[in-house]
Amino acid sequence: MTDKPNPLTTQEVARAVASQSDPAPADASIKIRARDVDFFYGQKQVLQGISMDVRERKITALIGPSGCGKTTFLRILNRMYETVKHARAEGEVVLDTDNIFELPLPNLRRRVGMVFQKPNPFPKSIFENVAYGPRVHGLANGARLAEMVEQSLRGAALWDEVKDSLQKSAFSLSGGQQQRLSIARALAIDPEVLLLDEPCSALDPISTAKIEELLFTIETRCTLVIVTHNMAQAARVADYTSFFLMGKLVEFNDTKTVFTNPAKKETEDYITGRFG
């Protein structure tokens, strides 16, 4: 259900961006620092010299046409690319003060969670889905675990809908609910960063709106990085926006500036729909 990004009229952009709060102060601390990141599938280079900062407790959107490398870059941040043979990342990515390539994987993924494009609940009950992460990391059991599950489900705005049916299979939920379950599952281990890979592209507009609202509440406890095909969504939701094109980071700035006063011509062309 991915579609071409809608060309926004200047008025739409202005409206969307104006509905946000003021752009973040320039000294908001940096949660993830990427410098000169290159990425290869075998011999083929897919990302070139990506350098950007992800600011703490802000929403950073990665936008760009299909195949530009934004999802590839996202998946570097929690080293998910390592499941693919011959995939190789070079460069520097630092989470707070830790080099992510040297962190043990379970630690990295505890701190940097991920929500995927297609809701992917486990074939288990709703409760067990959310409890999976805490169980894996040995965070809690018994009553404390039940509390964590409830908190996470509340944090994903799903608790009221499922509190009486926690033992039901996760497959009994609708698509939008399953995606919120995936978010609850990711929140259950209290990550510092949450990566979202086009989380709404498989959902209807109402579910999409619910999740976008949710992102604002999660932002208060978590740094968010979201890949989106939907420029309007980036304009609605993100504090910062990165524009990727053909494996390169063309422009990175606060969302208002990127959409109303882009520095590069390619950015302007993309945003106004001259290509997609």
State in angstroms the smallest separation of the CB of 11 from another protein. 38
Task: Give the integer Cα–Cα distance in Å for 34 and 243.
Answer: 15
Task: Give the integer Cα–Cα distance in Å for 118 and 169.
Answer: 17
At 10 the three-state DSSP class reads helix
Assess contact for 64 and 243: CB atoms under 8 A: yes
What pairs with residue 254 in β-bridges? 240
Residue 275 binds another protein, judged by CB under 8 A? no
Among 4, 9, 15, 136, interactor with another protein by CB under 8 A: 136
Among 5, 69, 133, 247, interactor with another protein by CB under 8 A: 133
Residue 138 binds another protein, judged by CB under 8 A? no
Residue 216 binds another protein, judged by CB under 8 A? no
Residue 176 binds another protein, judged by CB under 8 A? no
Residue 123 binds another protein, judged by CB under 8 A? yes
In this complex, which beta carbon is closest to another protein, that of residue 25 or of residue 123?
123
State in angstroms the smallest separation of the CB of 106 from another protein. 4
DSSP secondary structure of 16-39: HHHTS-PPPPTTPPEEEEEEEEEE
β-bridge pairing 30-41 and 44-55: antiparallel
Residue 186 binds another protein, judged by CB under 8 A? yes
User: How far from the centroid of its chain's Cα atoms is residue 98's Cα?
Assistant: 20
Among 9, 10, 66, 107, interactor with another protein by CB under 8 A: 107
